[in-house]
Structure 1
Amino acid sequence: MDIRVFKNGGLLAHASALHSLYVEAFCAPPWNEDEEKAIEFLGRLVGNVRRPGFTAALAFAETQAVGFATAWTTAAPFPTDRCYPQAAAGLGAQRAVEWLCGAREIDELAVHPDAHGTGLAAALLHAVTADAPEGRSWLLTSARSPRAVSFYRRQGWVQATHPATEGEGIVVFLGPHHPARALAPLPL
């Protein structure tokens, strides 16, 4: 596998491959997103490549794109769009600011189904977090995906929020080198 790291809009030259990978990764269960969400992702990406700290990794098997990850530095004050309010509610407003603002935020991680189980997702995750400020990285995922939750745990990420027992909502994870990981509450 060849993993290329992008720190700017050069990633947009691969928009078609990113779209295809997004569809392959997220239009199936448990995500069940549709084509419209893949198009929205590409629309957001045009702005995201200009965010402070933007970092992306795109993996190729020969000439075929087989996975990607995107990340950036979380802004201060803590954002209030998308799923950020759920993250702040789970952590508490003060922890959200202290732990997440200024940290490397992983936005998307997608791997083609044919590359599952190859270590590619772990390599992409490492590629976008290797130079995280002071080792501070974080992400959120859906509690509806026990596979994703289990994957991040195996990679040494610490679950910092614990959703309802029905498995609803989002889960915030702190990266393996995040200084607040020891402060994350344990599940009940």
Structure 2
Amino acid sequence: MIDLRRAGPGEFIAALPAVLDVYTAAMRPPADQLSGRQGIMRNHATFPGFTCLLARTAQGATVGFGYAFHGAAGQWWHDVVRQALAERAGPGSASGWLDDALEIAELHVHPDHQGRGIGRRLVRGLCEGRPERSAVLSTHDRPTAARHLYRRLGFVDLLTMFVFPGGYEHYAIVGVPLPLPAPR
């Protein structure tokens, strides 16, 4: 049985070694990027409305995590996505999706535990009871299990084939009005 535990900023920062282990197993980033990723995650814990869920086994091992916060001007992802969405879909669309949004920054499940509904529970748990008008996130723009999960949860494509500045991979920016639709 996997339990979800809500963690505040301090507990999240204390759990960063385990969180980075899950991130590394799920994403397989180059080793030289991990210290930068850790710094980004630590910084995210200071953002307004930060919320985190840790997925843990009965023995206390972290096998998944997700965190989100209230998006705002001055946050890198928010500003980059807002500009791109305004350029492609118009300023009204950008405002409608991002003016009052929960930005799901990271959501990962260790590969040994994928396919068991943990990711779905993490998304639902992060969005549950949030005051924001929408939830938004970026995911690789290819037919992955994550992309399929977000569609099943009601997320729609806002941008596709999007490349972040300095990057090379294609991402989809997706969003869903909150509260999430009831489970099917």
- Give the alignment's TM-score, normalised by structure 1: 0.78
- Indicate if the aligned counterparts of 1:19 and 1:39 stay in contact, CA closer than 8 A: no
Cα distance in structure 2, aligned partners of 1:41 and 1:60: 21
* Structure 1 residue 66 corresponds to structure 2 residue 60: no
**Count of residues in correspondence between the two structures:** 172
Q: In 2 relative to 1, CA 174–38 (structure 1 residues): closer, same or farther, beyond 3 Å?
A: same
- Aligned-partner residue type, residue 11 of structure 2: G
Instruction: Give the CA deviation at 1:177.
Output: 2.9
> Hey, what does 2:41 align to over in structure 1?
45
Give the counterpart letter for 1:152 in structure 2: Y
Question: 1:18-167 counterparts in 2 under 5 A?
Answer: 18-27=19-28, 33-62=29-58, 63-76=60-73, 79=76, 84=81, 85-163=83-161
Judged with a 3 Å threshold, the aligned counterparts in structure 2 of structure 1 residues 169 and 94 are, in CA distance, closer, same or farther, namely farther
Q: Alpha-carbon deviation of 1:126? A: 1.1
**Structure 1 vs Structure 2: percent identity of aligned residues?**
29
- The answer to whether the 8 A contact 1:21-1:66 is kept is yes
Alignment CA distance shift 1:90-1:65 (3 Å): farther
| Aligned CA distance change for structure 1 residues 42 and 88 (closer, same or farther; 3 Å) | farther
Which residue in 1 is equivalent to 2:174? 173
Which deviates further from its counterpart, 71-80 or 135-144? 71-80
What's the secondary structure of 1:175's corresponding residue?
A: strand
Distance in 1 between residues matched to 2:120 and 2:179, nearest whole Å: 17
In 2, Cα distance between equivalents of 1:134 and 1:80: 17
Residues 73, 79 of structure 2: 8 Å contact kept: no
Aligned equivalent of 2:166? none
Deviation at 1:44, TM superposition (A): 1.0
- Flag structure 1 segments of 5+ consecutive residues without an equivalent: 28-32, 180-188
RMSD over aligned CA atoms reads 2.7
Which structure 2 residue ranges, 5 or more long, are not aligned? 163-168
How far apart are residue 142 of structure 1 and its match? 1.9
Q: Compute the displacement of 1:128 (Å).
A: 1.0
More strand by share: 2
**C-alpha spacing 1:82/1:141, structure 2 compared with 1 (3 Å):** farther
C-alpha contact (below 8 Å) 2:102/2:132 kept by paired residues: no
CA 1:48/1:71 → structure 2, altered by over 3 Å: closer, same or farther?
A: same
CA contact (8 A) 2:66 2:106 kept: yes
